[in-house]
Amino acid sequence: MVHLTSPAFKENATRALADPGLQKALARTKPQFHGKRAKAVAGLPEFEQLREIGKNIKNHTLANLDFYLERYAAKVEEAGGKVHWCSTADEARAAVLRICRDAGAKTVTKGKSMISEELGINDHLESHGITPVETDLGEYILQLRKEPPSHIIGPAFHLNREDWEESFRESHTDLDPKRVFTERRDILTEARTKLRSRFLAADVGITGANFLIAETGSSVIVTNEGNGDLTQTLPKVHIALASIEKVVPTLEDATSLLRLLARSATGQDFSVYTTFSTGVRRQGDLDGPEEYHVVLIDNGRSNMIGTEFQEMLRCIRCAACMNHCPVYGVTGGHAYGWVYPGPMGSVLTPTLVGVDKAGHLPNASTFCGRCESVCPVKIPLPKLMRHWREREFERHLTPGTVRTNLGLWAWFAKRPAMYRAATRLGIGALSLLGKGKGKFGWMPLAEGWTRGRDLPAPEPGGTFMARYAKTRRNGR
Amino acid sequence: MSKDAILGAIRRGLKRGPLPADQAAMLEGRIAAHPRHLIPARSRLPRPEQIALFIKNVEKEFGTVERIADVSAVPAAITDYLAAQNLPARLVMAPHPELEAIDWSSRPLLARETRRAQDGDLVSLQHAWAGVAETGTLFFPSDPVRPATLNLLPETEIVLLRASAIVGAYEEAWDRLRAERKDPLTGGWMPRNLMLVTGPSRSADIEQTLELGAHGPRRLHILLVEDEAAPREMSRAEARAQATAQPGTPATPGD
């Protein structure tokens, strides 16, 4: 499993803010993340209706998840495939290793898969003498650099061109060390050549799955490079890793979600390769795997059903929430300290590793609501993060000072007359002090806030409640 | 067993046991009916405009399209294209009857092999089963006559597509596949591998800058055969009626 540094989120974030390479990458990337999605959405007038439809499809499936999973598994077996049901990450790792060993595998190619990061498949295979090769360009360089992904669809967006050149020179030692990378294209071509031989030599190909389809027993992957397709087409064994919430009933359901996915993710109308895999090579086929395995993974998800976190299982992993998050936008993904960063990670990580370890994540949000407003399946991410804050508070995991201040505030808030008197005094004093300046550059007890920005002074006219009462009196 | 553990945990969460038979039958009914949801209006166009939309979308995604009058024009079109791209006159092609029926004698210097693709193949000629105008997407169901490797290994993929095989939305292609195909293994209609391809392979992993030809083809060139009789002009009213988004069939119980 990926090393967990979520408990050190604050330190991670501080380091990220001071990392010039990362800040350069973020500055380059952010406008792209926003602009491309906005343009794709503007190009499809029905997008808002499709979001509602996507939400309903997922809700319907989750309400009948047991039925659809069994239906899906039966169809996979009909097409000559095998489904391995795994409750835990341990079971899933063991299943993958068993399949690879049975195939006598020496090397395994991999398409990009976040669940494989969650399971730590690479380390597990390596420790048992099998070489995993990441084939997505971004994942490939991260494997060379021994780094985890920092984004669920653009895993290496935090790297700059210099980093690519440096890593390739260090790793591809059989090539001329003095070779020149004139363009980005040269980097890509070198990776293409290097990986082509790995694709052809691999004994097993492992991919993730964006959707599973109960109607046909298909697993669906969505890529732009074509690496996922080479991974699942060339070796004699294909393993698809998928968590249980990936299933949808029909092709029509998957189609509606696919209309949302690429637009929300990369701002494309449709990804270059959307591929449906169903079972084993058919008689007479000239290519395709002879074995097809689906490793179906729960790893904590079934416990979310029936709780306030069930809505999180609608997630289709598009990354729009992190692409639009002001916190992710300055810290990048590594600061979150586990597999899934950004708002979706802040909800999912505490579920999967425990709120005692990942409690900082749901607190690392301004609740600005942009994540929810761009989510293609309308997951109320701020609400779910608030649920985690509540659970954290209930379990006394919240720091003492926060608890004391919250207690103080609650005491006042439950006594409206006193609360109004106190705010009236405070607002009055502040507007008097801030008269003419309109803002404060420094404020006692709020230095943490004023160190980085000014606090606006209240406008004259009293508190909201005072103005409201006045308006009511004037009969408007 | 883990299967029982997972299903048990889901049912506990849903506060019920296994679905009663009547409810399971209802869900089977939803699968059998596979109701369509909202289909975007963009592809509901009179026929010539639908084909124009397909071409526009292919080009938007960096593919190229050449319209040819009939399949007899294929050898010349391919020879000229390869020459223009400075590529050798050599290709590996799918053993599809439509490709094999072509009379290649007019271009004897164009070397052809009929097989799946291998490493080192520069150019493939593939047969597309359908095109979807909505996003300029090609459908390639795998078959003995349509090996998937031809879509992946060569740097240049040339595709033969009949204009009559272009539909508006993905859902129309699903229905055609359901009606036309019979799988030798399952008796159903879904092939082992079904690739939906929209433009040539690409990556933006290096500094978020788009580069074509990541692992799959760098060029995707479509030879579009104009095999449709001059289509009947649709009246304006008809076109308008088709252009409105079709709301999906009402959702089934449980939605």
Which residue is associated with the tokens 């097809």?
Answer: A292
Looking at residue A1, its pLDDT comes to 52
Residue of B nearest to A228 (CA): B215
Q: Does B181 touch chain A (CB under 8 A)?
A: no
State the architecture of B43-225 in CATH terms: 3-Layer(aba) Sandwich (3.40)
Regions of chain A where pLDDT drops below 70: 1-2, 476
Looking at residue A335, its pLDDT comes to 96
Query: Pick from A286, A303, A305: which is nearest to B14 by CB?
Result: A305
CB A313 within 8 Å of CB A384: no
Residue B252 has pLDDT above 50, yes or no: no
The torsion angles phi and psi of A380, rounded to 5 degrees, stand at -75, 70
Residue B234 has pLDDT above 70, yes or no: no
A81: number of Cβ within 10 Å: 24
Cα end-to-end distance, chain B, whole Å: 30
**Could you tell me which of A206, A200, A240, A100 has the C-alpha nearest to residue B116?**
A200
Question: DSSP readout, A242-281?
Answer: EEGGGEES-HHHHHHHHHHHHHHHTS-SS-SEEEEE-SSP
**Could you tell me which of B165, B153, B83 has the C-alpha nearest to residue B124?**
B153
Determine, for residues A286 and B147 on separate chains, whether the beta-carbon distance falls below 8 Å: yes
**Pairing mode, strands B211-212 and B137-141:** unpaired
pLDDT of A460-475, one tens digit each? 777 888 888 888 888 7
Residue B110 has pLDDT above 50, yes or no: yes
ipTM: 0.92
Q: Does A288 touch chain B (CB under 8 A)?
A: yes
pLDDT of A432-464, one tens digit each? 777 777 787 777 777 777 777 788 888 777 788
User: Distance between CA A88 and CA A85 in Å, rounded?
Assistant: 9
- Reported as a pLDDT band with limits 50, 70 and 90, residue B236 is low
Q: For residue B129, what is the DSSP state?
A: S
CB B111 within 8 Å of CB B34: no
CB A233 within 8 Å of CB A240: no
Q: For residue A150, what is the DSSP state?
A: S
Q: For residue B233, what is the DSSP state?
A: P
Residue B250 has pLDDT above 80, yes or no: no
Statement: the pTM of the whole predicted model exceeds 0.95: no
Spell out the SS3 assignment of A81-128. CEEEEECCHHHHHHHHHHHHHHCCCCEEEECCCHHHHHHCHHHHHHHC
Looking at residue A330, its pLDDT comes to 94
Q: Does B61 touch chain A (CB under 8 A)?
A: yes
- The number of C-alpha atoms within 13 Å of B115 and in the hemisphere containing its C-beta is 9
Q: In terms of pLDDT, which residue wins out, B67 or B237? A: B67
Residue A413: strand, helix, or coil:
helix
User: Distance between CA A12 and CA A334 in Å, rounded?
Assistant: 8
CA distance A195 to chain B (A): 8
Q: Provide mean pLDDT across the span B92-115.
A: 97
Q: Provide mean pLDDT across the span B213-238.
A: 80
Residue B237 has pLDDT above 70, yes or no: no
Which residues in chain B (192-231) have CB-CB distances under 8 A to chain A? Answer: 192-209, 211, 213-217
Looking at residue A476, its pLDDT comes to 59
Looking at residue A393, its pLDDT comes to 86
- Reported as a pLDDT band with limits 50, 70 and 90, residue B239 is low
Domains and CATH numbers, chain A: 44-302 (3.40.50.10420), 415-473 (no CATH)
Residue B70: strand, helix, or coil:
coil
Query: Pick from A155, A225, A244: which is nearest to B214 by CB?
Result: A225
**Could you tell me which of B13, B30, B15, B21 has the C-alpha nearest to residue A298?**
B13
